[in-house]
Homo-oligomer: A and B are copies of this chain.
């Protein structure tokens, strides 16, 4: 009877900020190719949404001198849930604070993962309001499907590179109520990657061992199509317009995602998710562990070609930039 009940206090991954050193090209990618709709641009950041994203934005695209991930914003399941999770974060001993004034939502609690990835948790949100021209007859669709590119439907998840997978995951499990759905462990060594969720999705966030860098980086941000055919159309278009496809379209064993990984012109890896993967409804779900043997026999790729070496080492900021940033930060600190 001591069954540990799932916490349902985090509702969804709502918004992610990406840095780009090539704003115009990145904007072209998200707007013209992925068909995303800009809400506003404050000169520093442009805010965009997929056509079934419900809020002010799901992507904050920020002009910067290097690629990478900025704030990751989660919506709480209720005002009460927000308070409960803040209490849990504070009890964990990690620093955090309430912040105001972020575009798209109200008061938010800001904290970081052990690796340093900035997170926001909020309740009050600004909904997207379509213009008369944008309004869809489909009640569940916040705006008409655009006529540009091969349009993505909604934000799905992100994958963060970190120095210690287990530690970062445990923090998200303990404080935010995430469940670990799948992971990769080779021969009793440290966890190489894990996939965590607060919903029937297999993951809203994944952590991957940063094998080439200092951690606190981005592996990828994923948008969702839910549709295999659109992935093939997108791949066709990406080849025509010289956007680098790193891998796919292909199917992962892990998460059963039909995936494609591309580098947006600013350098960030973007995953396009081309089906529904599988959904987890079983409340007794136990973490599925891929070992060296089965990861390379269906786990990494179920079908559709191999994952190239870059997939395991490339992230943003790229290592040199990440190293410089880390050093600059170190120098700033009151070096005794």
Docked-complex contact A5 and B78, CB < 8 angstroms: yes
Docked-complex contact A283 and B75, CB < 8 angstroms: yes
- Which candidate, A228-236, A315-323, A326-334, is the interface stretch facing chain B? A228-236
Cβ-neighbour of A239 out of B79, B248, B302 (below 8 A): B302
| Nearest opposing residue in chain B for A234, CB measure | B303
| Nearest opposing residue in chain B for A290, CB measure | B139
A94 within 8 A of B: no
A-B contact pairs, 21 of them (CB 8 A): A75-B281, A75-B283, A136-B240, A138-B239, A138-B240, A140-B255, A140-B256, A145-B236, A147-B237, A148-B148, A199-B200, A227-B275, A228-B228, A233-B233, A235-B251, A235-B302, A235-B303, A235-B304, A236-B251, A245-B303, A249-B304
The answer for the CA separation of A163 and B228 in the assembled complex, in Å, is 40
Cβ-neighbour of A305 out of B52, B230, B250, B284 (below 8 A): B250
Name 16 extra pairs, CB < 8 A, besides A6-B77, A138-B298: A1-B80, A139-B253, A140-B255, A140-B256, A140-B278, A140-B288, A144-B241, A147-B148, A199-B199, A226-B275, A229-B229, A235-B304, A236-B303, A249-B303, A250-B304, A304-B305
Docked-complex contact A138 and B245, CB < 8 angstroms: no
Docked-complex contact B81 and A253, CB < 8 angstroms: no
Cβ-neighbour of A3 out of B80, B182, B235, B303 (below 8 A): B80
Q: A255 to chain B: which residues have CB within 8 Å?
A: 140
| Nearest opposing residue in chain B for A77, CB measure | B283
Docked-complex contact A54 and B137, CB < 8 angstroms: no
Q: Shortest beta-carbon distance, A31 to chain B, in Å?
A: 10
A258 within 8 A of B: yes
The answer for the CA separation of A275 and B79 in the assembled complex, in Å, is 33
Docked-complex contact A256 and B54, CB < 8 angstroms: no
A87 within 8 A of B: no
Cβ-neighbour of A138 out of B79, B137, B253 (below 8 A): B253
Q: A125 to chain B: which residues have CB within 8 Å?
A: 284
A191 within 8 A of B: no
A8 within 8 A of B: yes
The answer for the CA separation of A77 and B138 in the assembled complex, in Å, is 32
Q: A247 to chain B: which residues have CB within 8 Å?
A: 305
The answer for the CA separation of A283 and B144 in the assembled complex, in Å, is 22
A115 within 8 A of B: no
The answer for the CA separation of A227 and B232 in the assembled complex, in Å, is 11
Q: Shortest beta-carbon distance, A153 to chain B, in Å?
A: 8
| Nearest opposing residue in chain B for A306, CB measure | B305
Tell me which residues from 24 to 53 in chain A have a Cβ below 8 Å from any Cβ of chain B. Answer: 32-33, 52
Tell me which residues from 166 to 181 in chain A have a Cβ below 8 Å from any Cβ of chain B. Answer: none
The answer for the CA separation of A156 and B249 in the assembled complex, in Å, is 25
Cβ-neighbour of A139 out of B145, B182, B227 (below 8 A): B182
